[in-house]
Structure 1
C-alpha cells in the first residue's frame, strides 16, 4: 500500500484584521482618557445628580409620555395602514393626506399649536359641517393641558411614521401567502392575525423599535410646554447652578439607559420569533422516531403516499 504524503495545514492570516483591532483599541483608549480623566467634565456633579429624586421624577414623566404615545401611535398607525391598503380611493386619500401632513410638520410646531388650541377654538362641538346643527359644547381650555397636549402631539406625528412601517411590513409578505390564506376559507381577521401578521412582524419589528427609540428622545421636545420631563428638569437645574455640561450628561445618561432597554427588548423579541420559526421548521417527534426505528423503505413509502394525497 502506497503511503500518501501528509498535507501541511497553513493557517489563514489576516494582517489587516490585526491592524484594525489595534486601531480600535487605540481610539477607544484615547476617548476614555479624554473623557473620564478630564476634570472639566465634572463627573462628581454627574454622580451627585444622576439619582436625584427630581431627576428621577423627570425620567418617570418621560417614560410615561413614551409608553402612552407609543401605544396610541401603534393603534392609530395600524388603522392608518389598514386605510392605506383599502380598496376605497376616498379612504386611501384621507389616510395619505394625514400621513403627508404630519410627516411634513415639525413636532415642535404641532406641540405649540396644540398647546394654544384654546386660543384658536374656544369650544369644540359635534355637528354637520356648513349647517347650524351642533350637539354638545366642550371648553378646550379644560381639555388640553400640558400632558394631554404632549401625548396627542407625539401620537399625531409618530402614528404617521408607524403607519408606513406597518404598511411596508404587510407589503413585504408574498402575495401567495394571502392567496393561500384565502383558499383555506379563513375569515379576514384570522387570516391577518394567524398567517400574515407573524410574517410581517419580521419586517415591522426592527423599524418599529427604531421609531420608538426616536420617540423616547423626541419627548425632549415637550420642554416648550414647560412640562417637567427629563430634559426640561435638567434645563431648570443647570439654569440655577450653571453646571451645564454635567447636567446635560445626566440627561444623556438616562436617555442612554432608556434606549438600551428598548434595544434589549427588540433583541429578545427577535430571538423569540426566530426560535418559533425554527421550531415550526423542525420535524415532529413522531416523524423523528419513525425515521429512526422503522425501516427506511417503509418511511419513504409513507412520505410518497402523503405527498401524492396532498397534490390531489
Structure 2
C-alpha cells in the first residue's frame, strides 16, 4: 500500500493550542452578609446595654472578684468537683462492670444503686446527706443484735456539710458515670474479648488492657461533659451551707443586698473554670480518637497550640 502524501496533523495538546481556561465566578451570598451584620449589631447592642446597666455595679464586681471570701469558695468548688468526679469515675467503672457481670446478685445490686441515685434529684440527695444526723444520730461499731459497742461517734461530727456534699455529688455521679462506662464497654466488639481470652488473658486483664482503652473513645466526650456539669452542680451545695463559691457569695449578698453584682462574680468564675476544663477534654478526645474518621483538633487546642507557638 502506498504511503499517504498528506502531512500528519498533531493533536491540539501537541501543538500547544490548549483551550482557554475556564473562569470560575464564585457564587454570591448577599443575604449571608446581611444576616451576619444584623446578628452582629444586635449582639453588640445587647452586650453594650448589659455592660452599661447601672444596676450591675462594676466596682462591686471588681471588689469581690478576687476577694478572700470568693477565692476560698472557689477552692472548695474545685475540690468538690475533682473529688466527686474521682469518686464517680472510679465507682462508676466498678458499678458498670457489676451490671455487665453474669452474676445475678451483682447485676441486681448495681441496678438498684443506679435506679435510686439516678432516679432522685441531686438537690434531694444533698439535703438528705446534709441532715443525715436527723435520720441516723450516731454511728456505732459493735456486735450486731447486742448492746455491746466498740466505737461510736455523732453523725453530725463525722459528716459535716462539705463531706455531705461530697457524698451526695460523688454517689450521684457514680450512677451516671456507670451508664457512660457501660455504654463504652458495650460499644467494643465482643470478638476483642474472645481473642484476648484465647490468648490466655484473664478477664480483669482483658478489661484493663483491651476493652477499656478502646471504650475510652466513647467514654471521654460524655464524661467531659459530666465534669463541666459537676462543676455547675456544686452550686446546689449552697442549700446545706457547703462553703463553696455560691454559698460564700450568697452569704455576702445576704448582708450587703448587692445580689446582681455578686451573681456576676460567680458567673465569671464558672465561665473561666468551664473554659479551662474544655482544653483537657478536647485533648483527650483527640488522643483517643486517633485513627477515627472525623477526629479533628478542636478550636481550644488550636488556640492553645498557636499561643504556645507564638511564645517560642
Identify whether the pair has TM-score above 0.5, normalized to the shorter chain.
Answer: yes
1:63-114 CA distance string (max 9 Å, x none) = 1111111111111111111111110112111111111111121222212222
State how far apart, in whole Å, the 1-side matches of 2:37 and 2:100 are.
52
Quick one: which of 177, 196, 204 aligns to 2:219? 204
| 8 Å CA contact retained: 1:123, 1:137 | no
State how far apart, in whole Å, the 2-side matches of 1:11 and 1:48 are.
53
State how far apart, in whole Å, the 1-side matches of 2:148 and 2:106 are.
25
Shift of the alpha carbon at 1:15? 4.0
Determine the structure 1 residue equivalent to 2:59: 44
1:167 aligns with 2:182: yes
State how far apart, in whole Å, the 2-side matches of 1:44 and 1:242 are.
15
Quick one: which of 252, 256, 268 aligns to 2:271? 256
Determine the structure 2 residue equivalent to 1:294: none
Determine the structure 2 residue equivalent to 1:106: 121
Shift of the alpha carbon at 1:10? 2.5
Determine the structure 2 residue equivalent to 1:284: none
Q: Which structure carries more helix by proportion?
A: 1
SS in 1 for 2:139: strand
The 1:14–1:126 alpha-carbon spacing in structure 2 relative to 1, beyond 3 Å, is farther
Which structure 2 segments of 5+ residues have no match? 1-10, 293-312
Shift of the alpha carbon at 1:31? 2.1
Quick one: which of 100, 122, 138 aligns to 2:152? 138
Determine the structure 2 residue equivalent to 1:158: 173
State how far apart, in whole Å, the 2-side matches of 1:79 and 1:135 are.
32
Determine the structure 1 residue equivalent to 2:39: 24
The 1:160–1:135 alpha-carbon spacing in structure 2 relative to 1, beyond 3 Å, is farther
Quick one: which of 102, 118, 129 aligns to 2:133? 118
SS in 2 for 1:124: strand
Quick one: which of 2, 8, 11 aligns to 2:26? 11
Aligned residues: 276
> What is the TM-score of this pair, normalised by structure 1?
0.81
Q: CA RMSD in A?
A: 2.2
SS in 2 for 1:34: helix
Determine the structure 2 residue equivalent to 1:70: 85
1:256-297 CA distance string (max 9 Å, x none) = 11111111110122223345x48xxxxxxxxxxxxxxxxxxx
Which structure 1 segments of 5+ residues have no match? 279-312
